[in-house]
Amino acid sequence: MTEATVMRMAELARRSGVSVPTIKYYMRQGLLQPGRRTSVNQAEYDHRHLDRLRLIRALTSVAGLPLSKVREVVDAVSGESTVIDAMAVTQDVLTGTITDEGAGTSEILDRVISQRGWRCARSSPAYQAAAGAVTQLHAEELTTVLDHLDGYAEAAEMVGRADLEAIEDAESLEQRIRGVVLGSVLRRPLLEALVLLAQQHFAQNVRDSGES
């Protein structure tokens, strides 16, 4: 798959699933690096172009992000970024799709984070989203959910670990970040659907005990 394949524009389009005009547009926008020119009107491309296009397609078609956000991620993987920097940018861009509300800090959240020994940034949109969700649960007086925060955090840890394991064999930073994007966007409905199925299962116990 990732041997040093050299290809023309047409093949790049076919393999990436992105049309030739769109590829040219990305190139003019600086989102895709130019190919290696072989004559006046021909150039060749390699697996790095393919990786980049697949990443862009994941960000646009699957995650539904605007090009301004795509650029943030592309800039992060193009520079001297470490995995963690590129992941942080990607997370921040994706978190915007969960909630736009921030909520300062949350004591109950800080307690859980410290209990689990998570090293994570309070300044990140992810922390802000979590604190915002805690605030909203308080506002709706659904504090029984917060009583189970430890359990949710433990489950989240299993999910986060699996998310990273699922991308650890990726061969380039771009493939890995594409995995983060697709993993987050596509794994999210999967997890929620699994939760609903588990609820169905446990609801039957509720009925059983409720009738006794």
Binding residues with a second copy: total (CB under 8 A): 82
The amino acid at residue 27 is M
134 near 146, Cβ under 8 Å?
yes
Q: How far is the CB of 21 from a second copy (least distance, A)?
A: 23
Nearer to a second copy, 40 or 158 (CB): 158
Least distance in angstroms from the C-beta of 149 to a second copy: 8
Interaction residues for a second copy, span 105-144 (CB under 8 A): 113, 116-121, 124, 126-127, 129-130, 132-134, 136-137, 140, 142, 144
According to CB under 8 A, which one of 69, 167, 174, 177 is a site residue for a second copy? 167
Task: Identify which of 180, 188, 163 has the alpha carbon closest to the alpha carbon of residue 81.
Answer: 180
CB of 211 to a second copy, least distance (A): 8
CA–CA separation, 88 and 82 (whole Å): 10
User: Interface with a second copy includes 192 (CB under 8 A)?
Assistant: yes
Of 35 and 50, the one with the shorter C-beta distance to a second copy is 50
Q: Under a CB-based contact definition with an 8 Å cutoff, are residues 13 and 23 in contact?
A: yes
Kindly tell me which residue out of 9, 27, 108, 156 binds a second copy, with binding defined by CB under 8 A: 156
Residue 45 pairs in a beta bridge with: 7
Tokens coding 26: 């990305």
User: Is the CB of residue 174 less than 8 Å from the CB of residue 55?
Assistant: yes
Candidate ranges 3-11, 41-49, 72-80, 191-199; the one touching a second copy (CB under 8 A): 191-199
Compute CA 140 distance to the chain's CA centroid, rounded to the nearest angstrom.
Answer: 29
Residue 36 is encoded by which pair of tokens?
């290696």
The contact pattern for a second copy, residues 92-111, with x = CB under 8 A and - = no contact, is: --xx--xx------------
Least distance (Å) from a second copy to the CB of residue 38?
30
Calculate helix-pair angle for 9-16, 47-57, nearest 10 degrees.
Answer: 40
Q: How far is Cα 26 from Cα 20, in angstroms, rounded to an integer?
A: 10
Per-residue contact flags (x/-) with a second copy for residues 39 to 78, judged by CB under 8 A: -------------------x---x----------------
User: Which one-letter amino acid corresponds to residue 128?
Assistant: Q
